[in-house]
Every structure is written in structure tokens, then in C-alpha cells.
Structure 1
Amino acid sequence: MNDMLKTTPDFSIDAAAALLAEHYGLSGTLSPLASERDQNFKVETAEGVFILKIVNAAEPEAESDFQTALLAHIGTHAGDLPVPHIRPTLAGASLAHTTSASGVGHRIRLVSWVDGQPLAETGRSDTALESLGRLLGRFDAALKGFMHPGALRDLDWDIRKAGRSAERLQHIASAEDRALLDRFLKRFAAIAPRLATLRAAVIHNDANDWNVLVDAADHDRISGLIDFGDALYAPLIAEVAIAAAYAGLDHADPIGAAAAIVRGFNAEYPLLEEEVDLLYDLIAIRLVTSVTMSASRHAHTGSNPYLAISERPAWTLLRKLDRMNPRFATAIMRKACGFEAVPGARRVTDWIARNRKALAPLLERPAATYPAALVPYGDPEHPMTVKSAVQQPDEAQAIWQAHCRDNGIALGIGPWGEERSVYAGEMFVSRFIEKTRRTRHLGLDLFMAAGTKVFTPLPATVVSVEIEEDPLGYGCLIALRHEPEGCPPFTSLWGHLAHEAMHRLTPGERLEAGALVGEMGAPAENGGWAPHLHLQLSTDTSLSATEILGVGEPRYLDVWAELFPDARTFGGIAEEFYERQGRSHEEIVALRRELLLPNLSISYDKPIKFVRGEGVWLIDDGGRAYLDCFNNVCHIGHAHPAVVEAMAKQAATLNTNTRYLHDNIVAYAERLTATLPKELTVAGFVNSGSEANSLALRLMRAHTGRENAITLDWSYHGTTQELIDISPYKFRRKGGKGRKPHVHVAAVPDSYHAPADWPAEEHGRRFAESVAELIAAMQARGEAPGFFIAESIPSVAGQVFLPQGYLKEVYRLVREAGGVCIADEVQVGFGRVGSHWWAFETQGVVPDIVTMGKPIGDGHPLAAVVTTREVTDSFDNGMEYFNTFGGNPVSCAVGLAVLDTIEKEDLRGNALAIGNHLMDAFRDMQKRHAVIGDVRGLGLFLGIELVTDRTTRAPATAFARAVCNGARRRGVLMGTEGPHDNVLKMRPPMIFSRRDADHLIAVLEETFADVEKALG
């Protein structure tokens, strides 16, 4: 140390002025500047303002040459950078030489003055610090490829040598402070070997807030970078770390300050993830170097303000850093560069979004099926929030329960990201930002009664099960690790649970999807809150359960969003819950009355506004999901990806009419007819089931020349007038004009309501006698039937399954009389019965004409007629048949996608298996509920007839409607059919799973019990 003092220049102002005149021919006013090793003077002359530097004699000549070469390089390659520029001597040299009175030789350099105010004297706004980062990035980018022997020096300020600070710990008086520094030194020792693998270059190495200047009139703009005395060859990231360390001194948000510098630097000189991941430790170790250097030199330098100027704030910042979680600090700085807060974070959220349909329900049934509402924790004035804030959870719970009762709410939701004033304890004080609280909720809260069971949506390994005793803590807290295929591992956190899980779950235990995690705890064991589950995800699996932040700072919400992503999809909450869009229900109803046909009906007393369909679910505008067991149009599920893709791809390529050649129409006709008996070979394409049945009547007339129709009572075949005329369901009800003379109505072949004295094996023949009588009556008048038409399973009549042998006998009778037989498969075709492609096949018959619609296009307007060559030849009478949209390329592409999906996913097999499971469950219910008179179904075409008395079989219409509405309130859609609306009608999508079926069964059980209790 004494040797260094001997080499430090000590020239008077007059002596320095003489040197200025001698070597540069300049005169002016000189004033000394603070410096650690050299002697600096500000020189104000008529030619401008300069800095005269008299270099410490101990500095090797190579180092002086290095600084000179560095500044010269910058001047050549980035002359616009606001840094000092060398003023040559009178002899044209970059350096001058002189000798002190004591005979010590010194070098002299004169550089231009960079105007500005030290950054240390300003507020160091984010804008200013980002500007600093940009300047350093440009500076270091300009030095790419620059090297000089003087840059390869041994300097304690070289961040790679920061481990030497351990040797200076002896100068730290406080044992607590030594322990603090030792913790950072140990962290540095762990990462030090990685520094040698990073990018290295010549850097400034000392961008402290006194060496950085801002515009005096605009403190947000960096105006200069000075003092290159510590420049050297080092890891590039050290430049950022050093600037960030000094920017964080006395800063309310030191990591935010670092992030601003990182953001600016990265914009000019892109950083690598492995560099940013070391920043927290490099910032800390620079501060460790600073305070240990200051402590070791203090005795020799006395009151030298330059050495001591940052000591106090450096200690303060080190203590702040010690209280922070390094993972969070790193995440903030990674995010500033545009990197993921933690590697793989976005892949986790993407995987969950893509696989959401496969997740098991978190509650006993899918969360989105419960009528839900926001819990008012985001409203600081709400009584529930006030009660919770002052720790009156029982009162808060009572307020919420009353609200739920009054509004029919079963589930309360506390959303991710919500601002909550309720977080008032000391535990919610920010460790990053001074005088700031953590107020943004980072989990998903689900509020239900204490004891409500919660289940894991994915297979998991139990990481930890613990009790957090602190008031406002989590109570029982469980962490699970998930490692789904194709996804980075992630953690789910389950808080505020009952303590029972402590005795049931063990760390390391494996849980399958759908396994019980725990139960929502009562206030006495859940941390003092109204009963609820705090569900949270963490994409950083290195964090322990208690390290995962449940509440975060608003400033870093974008960072927390990647570290702790919203668990709404994982928990099964629909996006629509959070934001309603479009018109209100009342407005739509009013506009329908004003703008649409007044007899266009709306389902349910309280209409539903659906905004999205997905698989077996329909989602309303409030985010509630309804299990769709009724709308058989979407045969293979709402918005099936294969259908959507086929439709979009073909629509983006070509759509036109059938007068032009195209592969799709013949390919589809070929595929469709291949599913039918060999006699049915010719197809015609239309747009709806009504069009299909109308075309079937044209085919029939051309072939038979007749009009007489035989139709089943209570049947329905379409919306056109000629189809209403053959639909007793329409013409015999309100607004109908009764039966036309050419229409003849046969009895519905309903075995459940057959006369008691008919043997079951004779039902088919006995019901067929009704048709025989109609034909005989026609023939007695000299007439004959043109056709017989029937749904292969009469649907509107009440899901009636034809008795065995019925169609075989009727078809024989009709054909013998010269008529044709039409099978209406608009509702029941395409494998819905499971055992066969077409429901008529279950009767062992082959119709002359088959009509198809509804399920054929999975919601796309497509329909078809398939008939025999013989009927087709009769229709080919010279009159052109043309349908503008029927058989267009897009519709046929959709039809092909539906057939492909049915075959590839074996949906017929699925329909049969799930249908049998449902039938078994319905028959089991029938044993316990006297109101169930008959259970009937095949595949996924099902009916339950409800009666007031099983002997008389009188219809229980009110009960059926109550069940239908009760199921709707519980999130399941079904209908009622039959002449008395007493048959529960279910036609779920073909992708209906065992889990979906069990959900339907559970809802029916619950609904039946409630209706029985209400109606007696």
C-alpha cells in the first residue's frame, strides 16, 4: 500500500497548468477531480473543456498505451459515442511524459470533456437506466475484435478475481456482515468456473453512477461515459453486472434498475441466456468486492471520499439481495431480455392449453359446469373483503354463502392477477421494491364448502405436504410435480386444505390423474380464511412449496405470469367466465321478437347464450360448460379439429357448384355408399334433412307415379309444407291444418305401450297390422300407397325402438302394393346405434331410399339421399336436377372428415360400449325410482320414459320437465319428447367418454332425488 502511495501523482494546480502549457500549448482554469489512483484536473480553455490526467507511476506503460488505443479505436469505429476523445500533444503524440519533484516519472493524457451530470445525482429513472444499457451495448459492440496487451492485466476489479474478496473478510468487523459476504462468496465459487466459458471482450468495467453522465436538462438521457482506468478483457456480461450493481445503490427497486440496464444493453448487443442467468450473483459479487476493498484500504486512505462513497449503500443493497429469492431476480432480468422467466415456461402453458380436454376434473365434476361467480376479494369495500381483512373468516364465509344462496351460485372464483387490498400482513411486504406491498393474486381460488374434495387433473408425484401455521398462511399446503410427456415438468401448489392430507399423503408418493389431493379446510386449519382452494402452478420446479409466491408485485406481473401461470385452464375454468362479450340475453330476446319469425322457439324458461362448443361441451357467455347430451347435429363433437381443418383447407382452396368436375363429390359418394347395403348405390347431395326428405319424395313420385303416404303417428320429417303434411307431430298440433287426404297415419309401434295381451314376440307383426289396414282401405278405394316413411328409431315420438320384425313386415306389405320404403336416418344414422352404421340395419331390412342429415357434417349444412339404381333410372326423366350448394367441394370435404373420424377413432364401438354402460346405469336407477317406467336405447340414442304409475303408465310430464330443467341447472343438456313430453331424450356426441357418461349419471341421480323431494 505504501508503494502505491509513493507512485500516486501529487502535482499542484500551478504545476499541472505548466504541464498543460508545455505539452499542449493550452492555458485556462484548472480544478482537481476525485480519483483513486491517478490525478485528474478539469481544464477550461478558450478551445474547449478537457480533462488532464496524470497517470499513477505504478501503472505499467502497456496499460496507458491500452487506454490510448481503446479511445482511438472508439473514435474510429464509433465516433458518435459520447466518450472522451484524445487531444494530441504539440508533438502529435497521444501521451506526454513528466517527472515529479520527487523524481517519479508520470505519463500525461488530455482528453475532451464530456458534459453532463453524474447519474448518481439523479433519480435514475427506468428510462435513464435503459439508455445507459443501450450506451454500454453500443460501446461494447464497437469494441468487437479490439485487443491490446494492456487489457490482459491482473486487477482486483476483474470480476473473475472476485473470489479474492475472501482474503479481505478479516477487515470486516461484524461477524454478521462477514457471514453475509461469505454466503455470496460461496454462491460465486459455484458459478466461477462457468465464467471461462462465456463470451469475453474488452469492456469499460466501471460504469458506476459517477462515471455515467446524464443530460443536465433531461435526466432520462445518458450523455456520456467517462473514466476508462479499469477497462480490461473480461466476460461481456460483467459490463452489465457492474453497471447494475452501482445503479441499484439507494434505488427503491434495484432489480428493476438492473432489468432496465439489461433491456437496453440487450437491444444493442443481444445477450445469451447463460449470461443473464449469472447476473444476480455477478451483481452481488461486485458489491462484495467493493465493500471488502473499501474495508481493506480504509486505514491507508483515511477519509478519501472516492473509496468510501458507495460503501454504505453497497451494504444496504447486499442485505436486500440476501433477502431476495435469486430465482425471482433472475426471472425479472431474463424477462427484460425477452427470454422466458424460466426455461420452458411457455411450453408448459402451451401444453396445458393443447391438452385441456384430457385433464381430469379438479372437483367432483368439471369446474366449468358449476354456476360460478367472482368472489369479491378485488373489491375493497365489499363486506366479505372487509371481514377477511380484519380476520373474521366465519363472518366473511357467511356473507359469501348468503350471496350464493340468493343467486344460485355453487362455485366462487378468485382470479389470477386480481388486485387485493386484503393482503395487509407483514408477510406481504415486497422484498424487491421498497415501501411496496405484494397485492396481485398469483393463484386461482376456488371457493366451496369446507370438506369439498379436490383432485389432481394430471398424474403427479407428491413433493411435499406441510402445515404453514402463520396467520393468513396456507394452512395445509401440498406441492405436486407433474411430468407429462412432451412437456417440461412443472409444480402445482394446493393451499388452504384440511390437515387430513398430512396423514394420507407421503412425499414421493405417485398419484394418478383424478386421484384425491385433499379437502378444502375450515378457517381454523386453513390459515384463517373462508374455505377455498388456492391452486397455483410453478414452471420453476426448483422452488419449494413455501418459496412459491402466492401474491406478487404489480410491477412484475408479466414475470409472475410465466413463473406462476394462471391455473384457470389446469383447473377447468373456461375463458368466457372472465369476460362476457356481445349483447345481453335480454337484448337478444327483444331483438329476436322484433326481427325474427315470432314462432321461432327458445329452449328453457331461462334461455342460454352459447358462445363456444368444444367436444361434448357447450360453453355459455358466462363461461359455464354444459355437457351436451341433446344436440346430435355435432355428431363427432363440437368443433372437431378434423372437420374444422378439412373445412378451412378446402374453403381456402375452392368452393363451387356441381356443374364442374371435382374429386371430392365422387370420393364422398364412394365412401358414403360403401357404408350401406349393396343395393343402395346412388347418392344425391343437398343441404338439410328437410331437403333430403323432399328429394326422396320426388324420387318416389318419379318411380311410382303416386302420392299416397303412409307415415307413423307423432312422426316429424322436415320443415317444408309437403313434409309437414306427412308429419303428424306438426299437422295434429297447434297451428296444424289436420291430415291431408293422401296421408295415412299408422300407429306408433311402441312396445312399452302395446296392449297387455300382446305377446312380446308378436309386437312387430301386431303393429304392422295397422299398416296393412291402411293399405287395404286404399285398395278398397282403388288406390295404392306411394311410399312408407319412418325414422328407423322414431325420435319425436319418444325414442321409440321398433319391435323386432316390424320393418320387415311393413316393407313387405308396402312393396307388394307397389310402393317404396323410405328410411329417415336424419337423426339416427352414421353409427349412432353402435352395432351398425344405420339404424334400419338393426331390423334386417334394406330401404329403397335412405335420407340423411344432421350428423352427416358435424354441424356443417350437408345432407344426402341414397337410393337404388332402379329408382334412379325412373328419376332420370329428362328434367335436370340441380342444387346450388348440394355436394360442393367444402361440404364433401367435411363429410369425408366425419367418415374418417368415425372409422379412425372407432366411434361406433365407443357408442356401443358407452351406450351399454349408460343403459346399465339407467336400469339400476329404475330399481330405485318408481317414476322410471321404461329405459330404452341402443348405442348413444337413449330414452327414459317417466310415469306416475308403472301399471297404468300414465305420463309423468311435470316430473320429466323438472328433471330436464334440473339437469340444465346442473350443467347437463337433454330434452323431453313423446306425445306427452314425458320421455327424457339423450343423443350425446359419438366421442362421449366413460367419464362423460358417469357425469351424466351422477347429475341424473342428484336431479331425480331433488325432483322427487320437491314433487313428492
Structure 2
Amino acid sequence: MLDTAPQYSLTDAASLLKTHYGLSGDLSPLNSERDQNYKVVTADGKIFILKIINASEPVVESRFQTALLNHIRDHAGHLPVPHIVPTLKGDSLADTLSANGDVHNIRLVGWVDGLPLAESARSLQALEGLGELLGQFDAALQGFMHAGALRDLDWDMTNAGRSKDRLHFVKNADDRALLERFIARFETLVAPKLGTLRSGVIHNDANDWNVLVGNDNHDVIAGLIDFGDALYTPVIAEVAIAAAYAGLDHDAPISAAAAIAKGFHKYYPLREEELNLLYDLIAMRLVTSVTISASRHAEAEDNPYLAISEKPAWDFLRKLDRMEPLFATAILRKACGFDAVSGASATVSWLKNNRSKLLPLLDKPVAAYPAELVPYGDPTHPMTIKSAEEQPVIAQAMWEEHCAVTGTEVGIGPWGEERTVYAGTMFESKLVKGKRRTYHLGLDLFMASGTPLYTPLDAIVRSVDIEPDPLGYGCLITLEHRPEGCAPFISLWGHLAHEAGNRLKAGDVLKAGDLVAYMGDETENGHWAPHLHLQICTDIRLTAMDIIGVGEEAYLDIWAELFPDARNFAGMAEEFYQQSGRSKEEIVAMRREMLLPNLSISYEDPIKFVRGDGVWLIDHKGRAYLDCFNNVCHIGHAHPAVVEAMAKQASTLNTNTRYLHDNIVAYAERLTATLPDNLTVAGFTNSGSEANSLALRMMGVHTGRENAVVLDWSYHGTTQELIDISPYKFNRKGGKGAKPHVYVAKVPDSYRAPKDWAPEDHAKLYAESVAEQIALMQAKGEGPGFFIAESIPSVAGQVFMPDGYLKEVYKMIRDAGGICIADEVQVGFGRVGSHWWAFETQDVTPDIVTMGKPIGDGHPMAAMVTTREIADSFNNGMEYFNTFGGNPVSCAVGLAVLDVIESQNLRGNALTIGNYLMDSFREMQNRYEVIGDVRGLGLFLGIELVNDRYTKEPATNIARAVCNVARRRGILMGTEGPFDNVLKMRPPMIFSKANADHLLNVLDEAFAEVTKK
């Protein structure tokens, strides 16, 4: 005991109480390291604490505590802390002279009722309440200062480094080494930063004996006592000290610390730089405690107060030593509303928002494979067996057999799945006593060994390791990615073939799409069924060995930021995990019952699509199909520019064209600027059928005729008047043949032209078929009202007209008094790449151009553009009005589509990718006799299949089979033509070379499979 410590008897203390405060009652001593404290209960039931202060304490410090308590009384009087009782003279302090001549100050304060926190369960609710009380206490002291607060105490966190000078008192070498590790971290990582932190006057000793909880409700904080160690120091020390004591013998000490920090943060917002040091400050408070205790044992071996928390402190230190400090810090940061590591949430968002820009991790995007969950979460599943190490693993042979039967190509082991198979001691939690790490923090992709794996992003190789141990990772690689606009992050690739260990080394640079490794087999991947364990880590300070693949349930929100789900990085669709809506079978049944019975469904096995994303359509199970057919979404499904324009205008105004609005004239100006100079007047509708109907109305008024010349197998819309001019409809099942005013000319199909026709004569000879129809009309004393044709007949089988054909036909029609209509519904808006409009490839200018589908990228809008002359003749007094045609929302969408086509040079892309595909199709034609003809321009493509190239006998069944095989392999295309033997492809204008290669690979596989049969 210190020589200056007060040594008054119970009788002496009672006398001092009576002399200075005029009070008497029952006194009972309380534990104290430096002073003498007594609980006083007066006859009327009032309770006080009498403190006789150590004579060594400077007067300024006694006055400091007095000023502090008075400040709290004045600024936060509601807080449950002791309040000073004045002496009979009205002073806050009294003094007395001891027998040995020492002067001791005396203070009397009111009693705060409650049970010491140390004697409760220290629930997280109580600890959060403690943090709230400390936060309010320290917040109330902001701006308060006193000379006595500037004390030199070993218990001051800024002096924690002094523990190094006391290490020699610690006898056990292992214990000393433990302390040395923490002190070294403190000197390197913490001490240099302490001077930069916010400081203030704090309690500085919120140990679990100085904190009280309710007598009846231990989850409620009832008081804070003993201000003898209060001083001016970094504010974060308050949280660290409270957490150090709260964590003693606590099953989840970091959770305890997090609860205190969370509560403190509510009233005294902490900063990231403070929380980043909290783990080490907690540890150093404990280091200070055990070294001071060790240094005093020689002086006071029998003092129980000195050793009261020594063993729990050592236990806590050992727990902290086993933890990864960055994990503990992440938990503390998250508790206060910060990212687990700075920038983590932004990285997760970046990966989600940029997933479409990432290159495939496999030969094609993961979502493009038929996939299903692997039953790792169910140790009782038949495919789960015991390994030689008595660990449950997936049986490779059984999994492969299952895939062969079901058509599954990728097995998925999802992030966050609980796996009770993790039963070894290595999975015991270092953060929560008695708990195991059982929740998967990576994404497992099960495929055949030897499957190549590619980096979706540019990367630098961080490490390449070989783990030879059973159930280890085998070959393990970490890559660091630094994409523009995103914080750097790590990807971890485990269970790889060992060849990567000889090919890659730390520091190697990989470009997006470069090979990382191959999936290893059981002999080299840790004795697992072949798969990739893929994991993202947002804290680049962690090494490959620090990154845990399995975590505790209690901290899943932390792991979700430190090790976020790699599904976006891998290219998986959300729908794989979350399915909703009716089943396919239920929808089919309801369609049959409630919709028109002749509403067709594509494919032998119908697909239920729930989302579109660029060139992909995603079904209800999360499988992505490469869309090479639905040219409605001209610039890609759900294009963000279109969605934004639509939403912005819809949230502002949508109305009809009887009112003035900028959008309709702005769009008319932009649209007509893409057309020849004499096509200057636009009319807006909601569909291509409406646009063609409007064109027929205008033609009728302008020419006074109705006779039509159309091409065989053509299709122009759904209304009756359009069905009447569509041989594809009226000459097939359910049709009634051509009406008297409709004259059908031959399709100018050079591939199926008579063998005795010279190619250079095809245009003229096919045009004679039109001349014959005109002659038939003229024989009746009539003439053509119009000629209408798709500039590239689509339904007829992607037929490209012979050069000069339209020039011949347009001249004939016009000479006979008719007009020429170009149906660009499918082929316009730059799809051919070389021009905006397909008719331009024939070097002609129509009198009317109709357009639809691509105009709005999926939004229902269409247009017709004509000459001033025809428009004026149509203005005959009858109003033309279309409620929704040209509305502000539709025109905003149309403008967005034009902006994207022009700004991203999608015409140029269409031409480049189209030429690449055509060259590849021709090469494929050399290998497969079934390919009779390939034709296309830009991204309007066709492959005609025949049983015999000489006879050109249509291979209808093969075409349909190829289409269905492609569908099973994740490619959408159609079949067209009179014989339904032409593979039809019209992918979005954003189609990339990678998309083209995917299409070519699947086509190659499909031809090989179908022709082999």
C-alpha cells in the first residue's frame, strides 16, 4: 500500500462525516486502490459515499474532480452519476490532517443505486447502454478543461507504451512475447497517430465495477461512479477502456466492444480513424493492466485488488492475439455504421453496376450455363460422403452422373450457405466462444477438372501458393484488381491445377480475359470434387492465408462487406437465387385458358423470361440466353439510357400531341435528318403495323388507288388491311388467298434463282415479275397504287435483293403512277451497318418509309416518314390523330436511342461484327455440307440449310433441330423462309466480338451434334 494512502478507522471516518457534513449513520468500507471509501446510510435512509483522498493526490486534481462533477451537474444533470454534497461551510471539499502529518481531502457524494456490471451477465443491450452513457458523459464535457485534467498517469492511454518498461516483471517467456507483440503494434501503428486524434476530458476508468446496472433489470445501465482517473486524453480511449473491461470473460468480447462503440457513437459520433485504432487500444489497456499488476506484486503480494482482473485480462489478451485485427476492426466499424473496411460498399455496388462490362470467367458467362445448387448444405444428401479425413465432401462420380442425367453444366455452392460439414477444430471461431465458422463466404463453381478460368478484369497476381494438405485449397491464387472508379479489391481462386504455380508468379500482370488457371482434379485440389472456390476480398491488406472461406453467423453482415458475394464478379444472375411468380406449366395452362388460342409459344421447351440485360435474356431460374433474335431491343435489353429517359419524362409529363411539347419536334428533326433530303415529314404511331396502316391511308389519298404489288412470302403487320397484303399470312393456313387488289411478285432470292439465270441478270429478271403484275393491272384498265417491300425481306428468309433490283422496280411502279414504300421495321436504324437504312444499299429513295420495333428499343413506338408532296395531299380536311403516337415519353425514348447509336458508333460496330460473323459462317460452310448459303449485312444475318447443295432441297428439320440445340445451349435464334430452313439472327447492335464468338461456338457444336445424327 502507498505510504500516503489514508488509514483512518471506521470511528475516525464517522467523526469526519459528523464534523464536516453534520451527518451520522452506518458506515461500511468499499474497495479502493488508492483512497478510502465508505458507504454511508443515514437514519432517514439516505445513502452517500464518503471519500478520504490519498494525500499524494495534488490539490489541483481534487479540485479538478470537483469541477468535473459540477460541470456534469450543470450540463447533463440527468446522467446517473454521483452529485457532490457540500460541507457545512458550503465547500465542495473538506480536509483533515492525519496522525503522520499528511493532509487528506474529503469529498461526500450522493449514492448511485445499482448492481456492479461485473456481477451481471453483461448483456450486449447493457453494454450498448454503457456506451450511450459514456457518449453522453463525454459529449457533455466537450469544451470543459481544467489544469487537473493534464495528469501524468500510467493509466493514460497515451502512456500505454510505458508497459514496455515493465515487461521484466512478467516472468513467463510466452506471456512476455505476447505482450511484446501488442507493444510492437502499438509503437508502429498506433502511437504515431494518437496526437492526431480528438482529445477531451473522459472518465478513463469505466471498468465493470465502476458501472452499475439496475437491481431488477440488468440490461439497463443505472450509473457511472469513481472519477479518480479522469483526465484529458484521446476520446476513443474511453471506448477502449470500457471495452477492455467488458470483454473480460465475455464469450464474444469483440461483440461486447462493438456494442459499447455503437452506443457511444449515438451520442458522440466516432470517426473512422478512431475506430481503426480501437482494437489495439483495447489490447494496450489490458497490457497496461497486467504489467502494472506484475510490477506491484513484489510490493503487495497480498493485495487482492491488484490481481482481481489479472487472469481474465491475460485470457482476453490471448483471445485478441488469436484474432485477425482487421476482422475485429471491421466488426467495430460496422457497429458504428461505417463500411467494414473503407470503400467496401462502393466496391460491392461497382461490381453490381458494372457486371455487364466484365468479361466471362468461364468460356462463356456463368449465367449462360444450366446450373443448380450443389448439396453441400445437406450432409445427409446421397452425394455427400466421408473423405479419408472423415470430412464430408461431394462425391465426384455421383455429381458427374447427376449432371449427365439432368443436363446441368455448372454446380453452384452459394455464398452464405450454412455448411454443417465444417466440423474440424480449424473451424472453431476465434471471435465467439463455443461457436464454429459454418457459413460459406465464397462462391463455388463445380465443373470438370481442366476447365479454364479467366480473369474478368485486369489484374496483378498477388500470390501463388500450393497447399498440399488434404481438404486444403491445392493451388491457390490471389489477384488484385484496380478498376477505374472502384477501390482496389482482391479475388481469391482456390482448388486449381498446379500448373498455374509454374506459370504465374507474384507481380505478373493479367489483362481481362487472360487465363488464370484450370480447375484441379482430386489429386491436386485438396481431394475435393473439381471446382473453383472464388472469393472477393475488399481489404487488400489481407493475405491469401488471412482470407477465411467460412465465417460465423453472428458476423455475416461483416463478412458480406469484407468478402462480398462473388456472383456479380462471376457473372451470375440474381434470379438463380430468388425465383418468383408462376411456374412455366401454370403459365402455359393459363395462356391456353385465357388468351387467344393461336398465340404461339417459341421452342419445344418454352422459356419463361423475367429480365433482360443488354444482349442477354434471363429466365426464371437465372440462366442467361444470348439473344440473337429479338431485334425489338435494338440497342440492348433495358438499356440504361433508354430507361432513364423514359422514367425521367414519365415522371414529368405524358400527354397527347394536341398540346405543344419540345420532344415531338426535336425527335422529328433528328429522325428525318438520318433520311434522304426529300423525306422530311414524320407521323408517329405505336407499332410498325400502325405505321404501315398509316402509309396505306396516305397512299390511297395521294394516288386514289388501292392496287398493291407485294413480294411473295412478305409480312407487313397484324391489321386486316396488312394481312391482306402479306402473302406470308394470306397464303398459309387460315388465310383466304390474295384479294383482287393484291398482286404478288416473286421474292428476288438469288440463292434460289433458276440455274440458267446469270447472276448479273438477277435484278432485271426478278424485276420482270413486278412488271408482269403491273401488266395484269393495266390489262384491267387499272394501275398500281403502291409497291411495298421490306428492304431486306426477313420472313422470306433474310433475302438480300440483287444489286439494282429496287431501282428497276421503283422506276416501274412510279412510271405506272404508283408510289414506293420501304418497310424498314426490322432492318432499319443502322442494323445493316453500312447505312442508316437498308434501302440505301440499293441506291434508291422511297416515297414513304415505315419503321417500328428498333425505334424505341422495346418501347411501343413507331413512325412513318414521307415527302412534303404526299403529306400535303393527305391533308384533305380529315384529321389524323393518334392518342399515344409521338407522346413526350415515346419521343424521349426515341431521342435516347438515336443518341446511343450515334455516340457509341453502333452502326460501325454492326458492320465490324457482322463482317466477322459472315467470314466465320463461310468458314463453317466449308465444314458442314448442310449449310447451303450464308447471307447478311451488319447484324442482319441468315444461314440457309439444305439436304443437298446441288438440288437445294430445304433441310427444315435440321434447321429446327439446330435452333433447339442452340436454345438448350443458351442461344436464341429463329427459323424463317418459305421452307422454315433459314436460321435467322438479328442480335442487338451492342453485340460484341466475345458475343459473336459465343454464338459461333454454340453454332459449331449444334451443327456437329445435329449432323452427326
TM-score, with length taken from structure 1:
0.98
* 1:450-497 deviation digits (Å, cap 9, x = unpaired): 111110000001010001233322111001011112211111110111
Q: Within 2, Cα distance between the matches of 1:613 and 1:818? A: 46
Q: Which amino acid aligns with 1:38?
A: D
- The answer for the alignment partner of 1:866 in structure 2 is 865
Q: How does 1:41-440 map to 2 (within 5 A)?
A: 41-47=38-44, 48-190=46-188, 191-387=190-386, 396-440=395-439
Superposition deviation, residue 351 in structure 1: 1.9
- The answer for the alignment partner of 2:702 in structure 1 is 703
- The answer for the alignment partner of 1:462 in structure 2 is 461
Q: Within 1, Cα distance between the matches of 2:392 and 2:117? A: 50
Q: Within 1, Cα distance between the matches of 2:6 and 2:481? A: 65
Q: Within 1, Cα distance between the matches of 2:657 and 2:105? A: 93
Structure 1 counterpart SS, 2:383: helix
Structure 1 counterpart SS, 2:422: coil
Structure 2 counterpart SS, 1:5: coil
Change (3 A) 1:388 1:844: farther
Number of positions where the alignment pairs a residue of Structure 1 with one of Structure 2: 1011
Superposition deviation, residue 389 in structure 1: 10
Q: Which amino acid aligns with 2:637?
A: H
Aligned partner of 1:15 among 9, 12, 23? 12
Q: Within 2, Cα distance between the matches of 1:971 and 1:482? A: 29
Q: Within 2, Cα distance between the matches of 1:228 and 1:393? A: 56
**Contact 2:343 2:487 (C-alpha < 8 Å) held by counterparts:** yes
Q: Within 1, Cα distance between the matches of 2:651 and 2:314? A: 65
Structure 1 counterpart SS, 2:822: strand
Structure 2 counterpart SS, 1:544: coil
Q: Within 2, Cα distance between the matches of 1:679 and 1:41? A: 105
Superposition deviation, residue 152 in structure 1: 1.2
Q: Which amino acid aligns with 2:585?
A: E
Structure 2 counterpart SS, 1:6: coil
- The answer for the alignment partner of 1:999 in structure 2 is 998
The percent identity for this pair of structures is 74
Structure 2 counterpart SS, 1:383: coil
Q: Within 2, Cα distance between the matches of 1:972 and 1:474? A: 35
- The answer for the alignment partner of 1:943 in structure 2 is 942
**Contact 2:391 2:421 (C-alpha < 8 Å) held by counterparts:** no
Q: Within 2, Cα distance between the matches of 1:368 and 1:475? A: 26
Superposition deviation, residue 56 in structure 1: 1.2
**Contact 1:458 1:482 (C-alpha < 8 Å) held by counterparts:** yes
Structure 2 counterpart SS, 1:404: helix
Q: Which amino acid aligns with 2:766?
A: F
* 1:673-717 deviation digits (Å, cap 9, x = unpaired): 221122222211111111111111111111222222111111111
- The answer for the alignment partner of 1:803 in structure 2 is 802
Q: Within 1, Cα distance between the matches of 2:174 and 2:63? A: 44
* 1:627-671 deviation digits (Å, cap 9, x = unpaired): 111011111111112222222222222222222222222222222
Change (3 A) 1:909 1:639: same
Change (3 A) 1:641 1:985: same
Q: How does 1:607-646 map to 2 (within 5 A)?
A: 607-646=606-645
Superposition deviation, residue 524 in structure 1: 2.0
Structure 1 counterpart SS, 2:220: strand
Superposition deviation, residue 164 in structure 1: 1.3
Q: Which amino acid aligns with 1:354?
A: N
Superposition deviation, residue 783 in structure 1: 2.3
Superposition deviation, residue 350 in structure 1: 2.0
Superposition deviation, residue 988 in structure 1: 0.6
> Is the deviation greater in 624-633 or in 102-111?
102-111
**Contact 1:385 1:422 (C-alpha < 8 Å) held by counterparts:** no
Q: Which amino acid aligns with 2:14?
A: A
Q: Within 1, Cα distance between the matches of 2:748 and 2:392? A: 62
* 1:844-900 deviation digits (Å, cap 9, x = unpaired): 112122111111111111111112222223222222111111111221221122122
**Contact 1:421 1:439 (C-alpha < 8 Å) held by counterparts:** yes
- The answer for the alignment partner of 1:512 in structure 2 is 511
Superposition deviation, residue 989 in structure 1: 0.8
**Contact 2:830 2:836 (C-alpha < 8 Å) held by counterparts:** yes
Q: Note the aligned Cα RMSD (angstroms).
A: 1.4
- The answer for the alignment partner of 2:895 in structure 1 is 896
**Contact 2:385 2:393 (C-alpha < 8 Å) held by counterparts:** no
* 1:526-577 deviation digits (Å, cap 9, x = unpaired): 1222111111111111111110111111111111111111111011001111
Answering whether residue 841 of structure 2 is matched by residue 833 of structure 1, we say no
Q: How does 1:33-44 map to 2 (within 5 A)?
A: 33-44=30-41
Q: Which amino acid aligns with 2:296?
A: R
Q: Which amino acid aligns with 1:233?
A: Y
Structure 2 counterpart SS, 1:218: coil
Q: Within 1, Cα distance between the matches of 2:648 and 2:67? A: 63
> Is the deviation greater in 104-113 or in 475-484?
104-113
Structure 1 counterpart SS, 2:218: strand
- The answer for the alignment partner of 1:566 in structure 2 is 565
Superposition deviation, residue 386 in structure 1: 4.6
5+ residue gaps, structure 1, are none
Q: Which amino acid aligns with 1:156?
A: D
**Contact 1:391 1:528 (C-alpha < 8 Å) held by counterparts:** no
- The answer for the alignment partner of 2:589 in structure 1 is 590
- The answer for the alignment partner of 1:676 in structure 2 is 675
Q: How does 1:539-938 map to 2 (within 5 A)?
A: 539-938=538-937
Aligned partner of 2:24 among 17, 22, 27? 27
Superposition deviation, residue 392 in structure 1: 7.3
Structure 2 counterpart SS, 1:7: coil
- The answer for the alignment partner of 1:5 in structure 2 is 2
Superposition deviation, residue 82 in structure 1: 0.9
- The answer for the alignment partner of 1:447 in structure 2 is 446
Q: Within 2, Cα distance between the matches of 1:584 and 1:655? A: 35
* 1:599-624 deviation digits (Å, cap 9, x = unpaired): 11111121111111111111111111
Superposition deviation, residue 420 in structure 1: 0.9
> Is the deviation greater in 336-345 or in 15-24?
15-24
Q: Within 2, Cα distance between the matches of 1:168 and 1:678? A: 93
**Contact 1:393 1:523 (C-alpha < 8 Å) held by counterparts:** no
Q: Which amino acid aligns with 1:866?
A: V
Change (3 A) 1:380 1:670: same
Q: Within 2, Cα distance between the matches of 1:267 and 1:105? A: 43
Q: Within 2, Cα distance between the matches of 1:597 and 1:407? A: 34
TM-score, with length taken from structure 2:
0.98
Q: Within 2, Cα distance between the matches of 1:897 and 1:100? A: 91
Change (3 A) 1:46 1:467: same
Q: Within 2, Cα distance between the matches of 1:926 and 1:869? A: 47
Superposition deviation, residue 363 in structure 1: 0.3
